[in-house]
Structure 1
Amino acid sequence: MITPERIMAWAIPGFFVLIGIELLVAKWRGRDVYHSNDAINSLGLGVISQIVGVFTKLFAIGIYGWCATHLAQWTLPSNSVWVWISGLLLYDLLYYWLHRLGHEVNVLWAAHVVHHQSESYNLTTALRQTGSGFLLGWLFYLPMALLGYPTEVFAVVALIDLLYQFWVHTEVIDRLGWFDRVFCSPSNHRAHHAVNDRYLDRNYGGILIVWDRLFGSFVEENNEDPPIYGTRSPLQSWNPLWANVEVYWAMLKDSWHARNWLDKLRVWIKPPGWRPADVAVRFPKPAFDISHARYNPPISSAWKTYCLVQFALLLLIGVNFLGVAPRLELLEAAAYAAYLVYSLWTIGFLIEGRRVGVWLEWGRTVGTMAAVALSGRWFGVAHLDQQVVLVVCLVFGISAVMLFYVTRHNVQHSQIA
Structure 2
Amino acid sequence: MKQKLYTIVQKLIDQDHQWFKDQIIDIRDKNDYWILNYGIIGKNEYNGLVRGMVIRKPNANYNGDPLSLIVSFPFTRFFNQGEIGGTNLVEVSNSEMIEKLDGTMVGVSFPIKDYKKPIWHTRKMLSTYQPDLDFTLVSFHGKKFKLLSLIGDYVKKLVFSEEDVIMTYVFEFIHEASYVWTRYSTDQYGLYLLAARNMNTYDEVSESKLDEIARRIGVRRPRRWNALSDQDEIKALIKEVSKDTPGFEGFVFRDRITGNRVKLKDKDYVRFHAMLNKRSYKHLVTLVISGEEEEILTYFPDTKPKIDTIKHKMQNLITETVAAIKYYRELKLDQKSIALQVFKNKNLSAKQKFINSFIMSYFQEPSDQKIHNAVEKAIITLALGNGRVKGSSNRLLEIMDLSDEENINIDENL
Is the shorter-chain TM-score for this pair beyond 0.5, marking a shared fold?
A: no
Bigger proportion of residues as helix: 1
Which structure dedicates a bigger proportion of its chain to strand?
2
**Higher relative CO (CA 8 A, sep ≥ 6), structure 1 or 2?**
1
